[in-house]
Structure 1
Amino acid sequence: MTEIRLFARVRRGVTWGCLAAVVAVLVPVLPGRAEARVPEPTPLDLVVAVDESGSLAVKDVRAEIEAAATIVQAGLNPRTRVTVLGFGSANGTSGRAVTQYCRPTVVATAEQLQYLSNCVKGLHPRTEAEGDDTDHGAALSEALRVLRSGSPSNALKRIFLLTDGQTDISGSSSSGSGDRDAEAQRLLRQRLATARSEGVGIWPVGFGSEVDQAGLNRFAEGGAQRGCDGRAESLPRARRVRDSREVARSLVAAYAAASCLRISPPSEGDLRPAGTLELPLAVPGIASEATLTVAKGDPRVWVEFIDPNGRTAPSNGSQGRSAFTRSGAGGTIETLRVVAPLNGTWRIRLTAPGGVARQSVGAVAMYQGVIRSALVVERPQIRTGEQVTARLSLVTRGGYVQDPKELRGLSFTVTATGQALGVGRAVPMRDDGQAPDDTPGDGSYAGVFTAPGAPGKVTLTGSVAGDGLRPDGNPTATINVVARPPDVQGEVRFPGGTTVHPGGAVHGTIQFHNSTPRTIRARLLLRAPPQAQATLAQGTPLTVRPGGSSYPFEVRFGGGAALGRASATLQLADESDPAKVYLVKQRTISVEKPPGLLERHLWQILGGIALIALVLAAPWSKRHARRVRADVRSLRVALVHNGEQAGRELRPGRGKWSDEFPFIIRDIESNPLLDEPRGDKQALVARHTADGRVKVCRPDGTEFQVGFGAESEPVADGVRLVFRSVPSRYAPSGLIRLFTRGRPPKSPPIRDPKSSSPDSFKTIPSDSSDDWL
């Protein structure tokens, strides 16, 4: 059992009465006149029967009063009539088991609504002298009596029964001296049978530990089983809650089901002193009328109702196609009723002045929608046994289905009837984007119908149903099933897709085959929501010659076209006889917001940024490349004495970048070895050259150059130098190499002077300390 929870939580100190009152004044006054007329919501003739037996505590009665006040003012139709009864038993001094606290009242004016709000306060726990047992039969008798006269035309008759216990009239002398409870049960069964025969539905709400679920079910099942629509969810059902604090929200759920209303997900929050808070409320496109109610906690809190376009709704009068009526400005509950509301997210803005304590606030929307649907068959004439696609689409007041969530809980059905079919045949429908459906979740369902084997007329009937929706008729389409192929057949295609921006166009083609010897003149017609501002660019008649042919067309959308998914229907009809339709195609067109400047030119902007970065980085990159080429930390030098390597390689001293590699040769006359200069001014200095060689400067200022891997000219008798380069982590990156003219050549191996072959080389081993690179 799913109950509608008006709010998720209530801060300590906030009474349930305030919580229940959030929906208690859903329709405070008559609506103003809207530009667009919409069918009226379902009228009710409602009797609320409230248990006043002595087992009720004061808090229980307060909860019942608030629950009663909730629904007596919740009707969206101003022709709804409401009566409130309190009942106990007839064993008191008055001898009356039932008291009428609110006379039958049509909720047509603010004064009448205020009367209902005040009269329910007379409900109270009965004393023993007043008759404090529980006589459900007497309550039903009085409710049925009220409903027999003065009921509004076409109103649904409902009894809402609030109780905490089973029937108990053991102390009532009016039931005789026998088994009084057994007699009460017999009379109760009679009243239930009467309710059923008179078309009165009973919706019991039980609370407390003494409630018998089976007994509640007998109330719901005993009355009339007539719902506000054909769904099982609209039939009477018993509800049981844990305690009286949940009575109001359970009763609201029952009222919504009984009257085919929907309640939006509630919104709540904490409003701080001198603070502002916005509560969002969703009003879907299927809502024809809606009431936005806010429980603000303190009368001094200021409330604004802001529509999905960001405009503050007026308190009364019209704005655009909508009409507004506001009430409750001086109390803790404020309500705005909107006829033909804008669909989307409304925002309730609450502002607390200084000195107002922190408030737990909440808002809820109740609405009822008028559902219209359209049914099209893509080829009105088909051959026996042939298949054809049928499309059943939801037509909202705004023309668009903005959010696929609006389709939840809706059922789309198509039934085919005809002499050749016998009993009706269901046509399976889908809206999941799988063939034959085009777009998932757009409110347009598609199915395939297979023609019977015998010629004749077949009628397809569509139906869309859902909670809080009233169908405005069921659309039909006729298929002419013939024995031979139709004279003219065609197909509509959109090769470029069906997405468009305001001011743009969708392009399509029509493929024809005219099997007759004569030329046919036809006209292409378009049906689309007014908000789409859609027009056919091709307005002249089409000439369909014998054989196959193809015709392009385009559907243009105005610059002010509303964003969303619009259902467009194209129809190809005979020029001289418009009733003769050759082809119908329905397709959902997605009208999307044009891309912004950044989105349109993103790649150009990114390319420009990259180019600017390269230009700005070029000087730095060139300088860095020069430093890398000059860096001597990758150099290694070895000494060759009389054709053999003497000692180990020498590397530059560890440290920062440098373009000079100083070294000395010790004991050059006897046992020459390379070493670091350690302040010796007679050092040789090695540097990189621009052409990838090494230049060595002697202490006396002379210099020589040598290639990597080759022996240098003698630096002393029988002493030569060999340089090599090792890989370095300081090598330029790919970006930097764009600004360099070459790479330092790899070091070839040193030639072995003992080999007789000029191509014989040996590799000088690297020092293990090279790993630091």
Structure 2
Amino acid sequence: MRHPRCNPDPIAECFVIISHGAWPGSRGINAAFFLLGALLVAVFGAVGPASADSARPVPVGSPVRQQEPLPQVQPARLVILVDESGSISPDDLDREREAAAMIGLGEFAPGSSVSVVGFGSDNTGSQLPVDAVCEAVTVKTAQDQQSLADCVAKLRKRNKADGDGTDHYAAMQQAMTYLSDGPPGSAVSPKMVFMLTDGNLDVSASPRYGRDNVGDQRNQAALRGLDGTLATATKVGVQVWPLGFGNVNKAQLDRFAAGGFQGTCSPSVPRPAAAVAADSRAVADFLLKAFGSARCAGSSDIQRIRLGAGDRQSVTVSVPEIATDGSIVVVKQDAKVTVSVFDPSGREVPKSGRLGDSVFQDSGANGPVESLRITNPDPGNWTVKLTSLPGSPDVEVSAVVIWQGAIRASLTVDPPAPRRGQPVRVLLTLQTRNRPIRDPVQLAGLVFAVRMTSGTAELPVRVADAGTEGDDHSGDGIYTGSVVIPDSDAKSVTFTGTVEGVGVSGDTRTVTAQVSQGRPRLTGQIAFDAAPALVPPGGSVAGLVTVTSVLPARAKVQLQITELAPGTRASVPADRTVFEVPATGRVDLPFTVTFAKDTASGTNRVVVSVVDTADPASVLTSYPLTVDVGYPPEPPPWPLYLGTGGAVVVVAAVLLWLRARKRRREVRGLAVFLFVRGRQVSDIAAPESGAIRFRFVVHSDEGMSPQLAHPVADEPAYRLVRDGGQFRLSTPFGEQFLIHDGERCPAGEGLELEIRDERRRQSEPADGLGTEQPAETVSRSTDLL
């Protein structure tokens, strides 16, 4: 009989199949299979599959925690100030329009509002220094987004009769009319201003700032007024992100950025800062980077392609697993270019409506900038197909995906009611509205933080997912820490867990633990075997409850499932839910968690708790279990023809492969070199431990060459990981690059980073006759970590 599926655990399940003779063949072959399975299980252990016949799985214990509303991305209020002064060229203005539309239409939260204001100056006393072309457009519907696209097109280049100076003060005053309602957190937040300008503040011809301009008094008056407006921005929580291009005064723009609100959406992102591009062609890139930092939004790099008359071409953008809301924005320039979008499964998605779990809303199809907003996008590579009509002009088309993950953190304290002086574990996890997240690559750029408050004292608790210092399993998405309850008079301690970073909306959870007076009657601890790489639908994971009793009589404890992540369906066999605990002793109680056949594919998470049946409100211990559910590839036919000797060879090969896979992920041997305008000024090597991530920073002190260094605590840092034969570099600004050995990528004005793999270089033949690699350029990844 052919076994329908091999368990995704390539070791344990295949042993089960072999030992039951699931593959036909001679007795010699079955003996070889048994040897293979026994050896693999001896080395790695086994997680047995669920048995539907031996124990009927049922939901366990008290009801699952009250369902909370699904997490949503936080709306924002954006104001984009666009320079219309006389020095702007027609091409500059087009680039400004495109950048403003890209951010405005790329805003993914339906409750957000976007204002676009053009500015020049008042040189006669009767001119309007600003053009409020888009006044607080709420981008909820496709019609709202279309209205925004239409009004952005009204931005104009001013001449002398219109007021062609550069009045940054009037522009900021207009921006604050949309944003000045209350301190930070009192209204819709975050609030941010993006200022695009090609010059310095210049109101020398404006009578608004004095009867004459003796001693540059008009500009000085405007700067004083601007300082007052920026002080107001600080009070009400408005960030200012100036973006200059061409001949601009960087110090003046820095003054604008520093004058506004300095709070950030996450400790890991930089404070508002000015940026200067060489010309207007780079404005969109700079604005996208600033938007990501201000909004804690992830994005791809902008993908650009030339589209000729009658051409059909495609670009690809990537949506990570953690994204729940996003927009694919295509700057077409020519409104006649048609856009079709295909999801990672190759299905063409609708312009509006639903496909699977995803909801779509398109806008701007008849204009130069088109946007497709997606709620609950499938993770993976999305294809944007572009078609130009015959006779159309050649245009440069660009596409970008902007996204964020609406997340919910979960904080577990074990034991829930600790004693003074007792060590406790805290476990912090996250999930989106669609799924729990455990992939270390997805979580690498996020900050997991826990602090404990006892009375007036506050103590940070270091948490990590490294398989050390109390963390059970590395890379399972459970960030674990340990702390000792203070020996004080406090009757309770409060733990606060926070998850923040670029690409997520951020969430904070608080758990208050009552401090036990004296030794508790019952204590417990839950542990799980290391889960296989993949658990099949209907499969199970083995666990162990250890209960210690000081009672003079027997007691009973009950196993409960108290929390299920979205899409997770799990249970415990009915005969393993209530256990008897002997008097004054300790007992180990094995159990299994079974995942239903219709549970969600991918990451599943369940919180298992143990309670005292005599006092069901008394939780002895809890533990969040995270596993990946799915089917592995079909088993290859070649094992059918192996004998005993072949099985031993397979064992050795598997061991070598697993060891090699672990080594391939380690960052040891990597070195980063910093170049300033082509000259190397610094270098730094990855740690020699078995780490799989390499964090470093670029320090730029005035008057000194920039230097590479290891980060301090939660300092925003670059993050480097191996990705197959390439390296994935994530920047503190939300960008990500895929880099080959020896290639360089930009790191700011005149700065470049080069990644070298000394481990690979040492393993190459000395004569240099190894496999020749094709010349490639750095490819910017289309997702952010």
How high is the TM-score relative to the length of structure 1? 0.66
Secondary structure (helix, strand or coil) at the match of 1:72 reads: helix
1:372 deviates by: 0.8
For 1:528-543, what aligned pairs fall within 5 Å after superposition?
528-538=564-574, 540-543=577-580
Q: Is the 8 A contact 2:568 2:606 kept in 1?
A: no
Matched, 1:203 2:241: yes
Structure 1 unaligned spans of 5+: 1-35, 612-773
Amino acid of the residue matched to residue 325 of structure 1?
Answer: Q
Alignment partner of 2:468 out of 425, 434, 439? 434
Distance 2:388 2:85 in 1: 41
Aligned match of 2:526: 492
- Pick from 247, 250, 255 the counterpart of residue 218 of structure 1: 255
1:376-391 aligned at under 5 Å gives the runs 376-391=412-427
1:506 and 2:555 matched: no
**1:584 equivalent in structure 2:** 622
What does residue range 287-302 of structure 1 map to in structure 2 within 5 Å?
A: 287-295=323-331
In 2: Cα distance, 1:129 partner to 1:297 partner: 29
Deviations 1:643-697 (A, max 9, x none): xxxxxxxxxxxxxxxxxxxxxxxxxxxxxxxxxxxxxxxxxxxxxxxxxxxxxxx
CA-to-aligned-CA distance 1:222-254 (integer Å, 9 cap, x gap): 123344x35363643212111111112212222
Query: Does residue 553 of structure 2 align to residue 518 of structure 1?
Result: yes
2:373 maps to amino acid: R
- Give the CA RMSD over aligned residues: 3.5
Higher relative contact order (CA 8 A, sep 6+): 2
Cα distance, 1:380 vs structure 2:
2.0
Matches of 1:159 and 1:496, distance apart in 2: 49
Corresponding residue of 1:476: 511
- Secondary structure in 1 matching 2:610: strand
Inter-partner Cα distance in structure 1 for 2:201 and 2:286? 21
Kindly indicate whether the alpha-carbon contact (under 8 Å) linking 1:384 and 1:454 is maintained by their aligned counterparts in 2.
yes
Counterpart among 450, 462, 482 of residue 484 in structure 2: 450
Deviation at 1:587, TM superposition (A): 3.1
1:33-432 equivalence runs, <5 A = 38-92=70-124, 94-148=126-180, 154-174=188-208, 175-177=210-212, 178=214, 179-209=217-247, 211-227=248-264, 229-231=265-267, 233=269, 235-267=271-303, 279-295=315-331, 303-330=339-366, 333-349=369-385, 362-401=398-437, 403-419=439-455, 422-432=456-466
> Partners in 1 of 2:189 and 2:459 — Cα distance?
34
Cα distance, 1:132 vs structure 2: 2.2
Which of 602, 606, 610 matches 1:572? 610
Q: Secondary structure at the match of 1:381?
A: coil
Select the structure of larger CA radius of gyration: 1
Q: Output the CA distance in 1 between the equivalents of 2:392 and 2:174.
A: 46
Cα distance, 1:473–1:105 mapped onto 2, change above 3 Å: same
Quick one: which amino acid aligns to residue 183 of structure 1?
A
Tell whether the 8 Å contact from 2:543 to 2:591 is kept in structure 1 after alignment.
yes
Q: Structure 1: how far apart are the matches of 2:119 and 2:529?
A: 70
- Structure 1 pair 590–477 and aligned structure 2 pair: CA distance change class (3 A): farther
Q: Which residue does 1:625 correspond to in 2?
A: none
**Separation (CA, whole Å) in 1 of partners of 2:148 and 2:531:** 57
CA 1:531–1:278 in 2, change beyond 3 Å: closer, same or farther?
Answer: farther
Kept in 2: contact 1:271–1:352 (CA 8 A): yes
- One-letter code of the match for 2:623? K
* 1:623 match: none
Cross-structure match for 1:22? none
Q: What's the offset of the Cα at 1:357?
A: 9.0
CA–CA distance in 2 between the matches of 1:214 and 1:521? 71
The change in CA–CA distance for 1:606 and 1:249 in structure 2 (over 3 A counts) is same
The worse-fitting range, judged by mean Cα deviation, of 70-79 and 513-522 is: 70-79
Query: CA separation of 1:291/1:519 partners in 2, compared to 1, >3 Å: closer, same or farther?
Result: same
Shift of 1:273: 8.7
8 Å CA contact 1:451–1:481 kept in 2: the answer is: no
Residue 188 of structure 1 and its aligned partner are, at CA, apart by 2.5
Matches within 5 A, 1:683-698: none
Residue ranges of structure 2 left out of the alignment (5+ in a row):
1-67, 648-785
CA–CA separation in structure 2 for the residues paired with 1:99 and 1:294: 26
Shift in CA distance, 442/62, structure 1 to aligned 2, threshold 3 Å:
same
From the superposition, tell whether residues 461 and 150 of structure 1 become closer, same or farther in structure 2 (CA, over 3 Å): closer
Change in Cα spacing, 1:82 to 1:551, as seen in structure 2 (3 Å) is closer
Alignment-mate amino acid for residue 269 of structure 2: E
Within 5 Å, which residues of 2 pair with 1:590-609?
590-598=628-636, 602-607=638-643
Q: Per the alignment, do residues 135 and 216 of structure 1 end up closer, same or farther by CA in structure 2, a change over 3 Å counting?
A: same
- Cα distance 1:99–1:549, how it changes in 2: closer, same or farther (>3 A)? closer
Query: Residues 291 and 366 of structure 1 are in contact (CA less than 8 Å); yes or no, is this contact kept in structure 2?
Result: yes
- Between stretches 151-160 and 446-455, larger displacement belongs to 151-160
CA contact (8 A) 1:45 1:156 kept: yes
Write the distance in 2 (CA, Å) between the matches of 1:125 and 1:302.
28
Question: Number of aligned pairs?
Answer: 569
| Alignment partners' CA distance in 2, 1:321 and 1:181 | 55
Q: Distance in 1 between matches of 2:131 and 2:199?
A: 18
Instruction: Check the 8 A contact 2:452/2:496 in 1, yes or no.
Output: yes
Post-superposition Cα deviations, 1:288-320, rounded to whole Å, max 9, x if no partner, equal: 311123456776766443334454433322234
User: C-alpha displacement at 1:173, in angstroms?
Assistant: 3.2
Q: Which amino acid aligns with 2:241?
A: W
Q: Does the 8 A contact of 1:385 with 1:453 survive in 2?
A: yes
Deviations for 1:714-763, whole angstroms, at most 9, x for unmatched residues? xxxxxxxxxxxxxxxxxxxxxxxxxxxxxxxxxxxxxxxxxxxxxxxxxx
Q: Which TM-score applies when normalising by structure 2?
A: 0.65
In structure 2, the CA distance between the partners of 1:283 and 1:423, relative to structure 1 (3 Å rule), is same
Alpha carbons of 1:311 and 1:520: their partners in 2 closer, same or farther (altered >3 Å)?
Answer: farther
Distance (Å, rounded) in 1 between the aligned partners of 2:277 and 2:257? 16
